[in-house]
Structure 1
Amino acid sequence: MSRDTTSAPPSGAGRERRTSRIRVLRASDIQAPSSAGAAAGTDGRASHLGEIVHLARNGEAGSRTEAKMSEDPEPTLSERAPYLKPDDAARALARRLLGESRHAALATVTMPDGQPLATRVALSTLPSGDVGLLLSNLSEHSRALASHPRASLLVGHTAPGDGLRLPRLTLRGHVVRLVPGADEARARARYLARLPEAALYADFADFAFYSLTIVDGLLNAGFARAHRLDRADLCRDPSPEMEAREGAVIRHMNEDHADSLSQLIASQRTTDQTSWQIATLDPLGFEAISDTGDLVRIDFAQAVVEPEGYRHAFVRLVKEARTKQARAKP
């Protein structure tokens, strides 16, 4: 944006006068006043318009620049809002909040009245990091999504006391019902791996699997620690080859490396659980469930981009866990 390069008036009054010139160039200010207002002399816009004409006739320096400044749009909310730039820690926390949540608040818009609706739903994660849902088609939120697929999801930790002290993540995205096929079968398998009790009603005629494709998110990690997140901060789309290998990798880790799996989880979480099984896997990490039902999300050191990369990612985590354990010994 260009600026007036003439020297500024030395006095505060001069600066105030310059500010007033910028204000009066707004469209709302240069409209002709009503005859009643002009006669009464109370509208004030006639004098503003006169000043503009005076500026134009005298060609005062900066008048065009001031006009341009008055036409510039106001800053958007995201430009004014006090969000921090997300770093690796913020991204990991956001993925952990989603990956370790079994339930969430789903916000939709009902039609045709356009009223907001918040309901509780159970969730899973998809291979891309998006959200998997199992919804009854008889529910109010399913009917809302059929007419208006945009939705928001709130997840977060719970504990006694002030809940605003705890981190939480709001996601925004588009929800679609999955038709029978590979994507629906994959969503079903991942959902039941995290929520096995849902097998009791997953095949009911009125239930169906849905996906919420994440557009962006808001992470509140604590006081003065708010982050605006893009989809890339939360998701990675795996290749078809990686999706095809997912089940084999999970079985291999659970059956052949259960001890190493428990060791690496213990190195990153304070837990007394010693038996873990991987439930879901994606390019950025995995989710595991203990024999008592605890759910944890562990991120890889870096994103996996090919099927063989899963092996290297787990080997690195195990090595780091053993190094940390060795250093902790007296």
Structure 2
Amino acid sequence: MIADDPRARGEPEPPASAARRLVRAALKGSLATLDRQTGHPYASLVLVATEPDGAPLFLISRLAWHTRNLEADARASLLLDGTGGLAEPLTGGRLTLIGEVRPTASATARGRFLARHPGAEGYAGFADFSMYAMAVARAHWVGGFGRIVDLAPADLATDVAGAADLIAAETGILAHMNADHADAVALYATALAQKPPGSWRMSGIDPDGIDLLHCTTNDAARIDFDTRVRTPDAARAALISLARRARGVGQGGTQA
């Protein structure tokens, strides 16, 4: 949570928190499936989004090798790389998720994926493309040399119990924030996520926080709420609190 973010004090972020942040901020990953003919690992680049509970989502074509592999054996792993921009990549964070990837009929999957990847609108309606979700069985976090931790699914998941109204209101909240409060969204990115200025928009909201997307540079950010929210009213209060905090940082204050 931002109010108790160790990074603001110059301390390492706890592994579970850093891993959750990477899952939410990632736009792409390396999906490894089992080759249906030889059984060898087959790794491919995929775009990634998340469900409200944090489950990874993919919009993939059944013509692709990885999809054909999944039809034969749903076991897979997903590597998310958080080392971009580092002079020494092995000092940065990366996360391997291990589980099964299957088609999903979730009511939120397609909308959340397209909010994260607007360019996918051009092919999302093709007959061979479908939404898939990953059920994570375990995870392996490497935060740099000597910072290696195995994580359980519960360490990564967002508790969505009691948050049905918030999830149902997500599309409206995003539209309102991006149309009427674009200045606040941009300030979230620059002041709280330490991102460069530009055209930022909210691409997701869940009980634990918000996802941001730069409209032209394919950059993304994750910002956690101070406390978990479960209703649209609570989300509104949390967004106002973030804006106040961001303005304080912009005026020379700190996040802590």
TM-score of the two chains, using structure 2 as the length reference: 0.83
Identity among equivalent positions (%) equals 35
Corresponding residue of 2:116: 194
Contact 1:273 1:290 in 2 (8 A): no
1:282-321, aligned counterparts within 5 Å? 282-293=206-217, 294-321=219-246
Q: How many Å apart are 1:192 and its aligned residue?
A: 1.6
Contact 1:92 1:299 in 2 (8 A): no
Contact 2:187 2:243 in 1 (8 A): yes
Q: For the structure 1 residues 271 and 237, does the alpha-carbon distance in structure 2 shift closer, same or farther, using more than 3 Å as the test?
A: closer
Q: How many Å apart are 1:244 and its aligned residue?
A: 0.8
- Within the candidate set 95, 117, 137, 2:42 is matched to 117
Contact 2:102 2:133 in 1 (8 A): yes
AA aligned to 1:186 is T
Contact 1:135 1:142 in 2 (8 A): yes
Q: For the structure 1 residues 316 and 90, does the alpha-carbon distance in structure 2 shift closer, same or farther, using more than 3 Å as the test?
A: farther
Higher mean alpha-carbon deviation, 200-209 vs 302-311, is at 302-311
Q: For the structure 1 residues 127 and 160, does the alpha-carbon distance in structure 2 shift closer, same or farther, using more than 3 Å as the test?
A: closer
SS for the counterpart of 1:228 is strand
Higher mean alpha-carbon deviation, 112-121 vs 123-132, is at 112-121
AA aligned to 2:208 is L
In structure 2, C-alpha distance between the alignment counterparts of 1:224 and 1:282, rounded to whole Å:
32
**Which residues of structure 1 form unaligned runs of 5+?**
1-86
Is residue 267 from structure 1 mapped to residue 198 from structure 2 by the alignment?
no
AA aligned to 2:188 is L
SS for the counterpart of 1:201 is helix
Contact 1:100 1:295 in 2 (8 A): yes
AA aligned to 1:283 is P
Q: For the structure 1 residues 201 and 264, does the alpha-carbon distance in structure 2 shift closer, same or farther, using more than 3 Å as the test?
A: closer
Deviations 1:97-150 (A, max 9, x none): 222222111111233643222111111111111111011112221122112212
In structure 2, C-alpha distance between the alignment counterparts of 1:240 and 1:111, rounded to whole Å:
39
Q: How many Å apart are 1:154 and its aligned residue?
A: 0.2
In structure 1, C-alpha distance between the alignment counterparts of 2:51 and 2:13, rounded to whole Å:
21
AA aligned to 1:107 is A
Greater Rg, structure 1 or structure 2? Answer: 1
Q: How many Å apart are 1:328 and its aligned residue?
A: 4.2
Corresponding residue of 2:3: none
AA aligned to 2:121 is A
Corresponding residue of 1:175: 101
Q: How many Å apart are 1:177 and its aligned residue?
A: 0.7
In structure 2, C-alpha distance between the alignment counterparts of 1:290 and 1:158, rounded to whole Å:
16
Q: For the structure 1 residues 117 and 272, does the alpha-carbon distance in structure 2 shift closer, same or farther, using more than 3 Å as the test?
A: closer
Q: For the structure 1 residues 113 and 292, does the alpha-carbon distance in structure 2 shift closer, same or farther, using more than 3 Å as the test?
A: closer
Contact 2:193 2:223 in 1 (8 A): no
Q: For the structure 1 residues 245 and 268, does the alpha-carbon distance in structure 2 shift closer, same or farther, using more than 3 Å as the test?
A: same
Corresponding residue of 2:84: 158
Corresponding residue of 2:169: 245
1:1-330, aligned counterparts within 5 Å? 89-111=14-36, 113-156=38-81, 157-159=83-85, 161-179=87-105, 183=106, 185-238=107-160, 239-293=163-217, 294-328=219-253
Deviations 1:10-36 (A, max 9, x none): xxxxxxxxxxxxxxxxxxxxxxxxxxx
In structure 1, C-alpha distance between the alignment counterparts of 2:14 and 2:199, rounded to whole Å:
27
Cα RMSD of the aligned pairs, angstroms, is 2.3
AA aligned to 1:317 is L
Q: For the structure 1 residues 195 and 217, does the alpha-carbon distance in structure 2 shift closer, same or farther, using more than 3 Å as the test?
A: same
Corresponding residue of 1:51: none
Q: For the structure 1 residues 314 and 117, does the alpha-carbon distance in structure 2 shift closer, same or farther, using more than 3 Å as the test?
A: same
Contact 2:23 2:54 in 1 (8 A): no
SS for the counterpart of 2:232 is coil
AA aligned to 1:170 is T
**Which residues of structure 2 form unaligned runs of 5+?**
1-11
Q: For the structure 1 residues 90 and 314, does the alpha-carbon distance in structure 2 shift closer, same or farther, using more than 3 Å as the test?
A: farther
- Tell me: higher relative CO, structure 1 or 2? Use CA pairs within 8 A at least 6 residues apart: 2
In structure 1, C-alpha distance between the alignment counterparts of 2:247 and 2:89, rounded to whole Å:
35
In structure 2, C-alpha distance between the alignment counterparts of 1:122 and 1:274, rounded to whole Å:
22
Structure having the larger proportion of residues in helix: 1
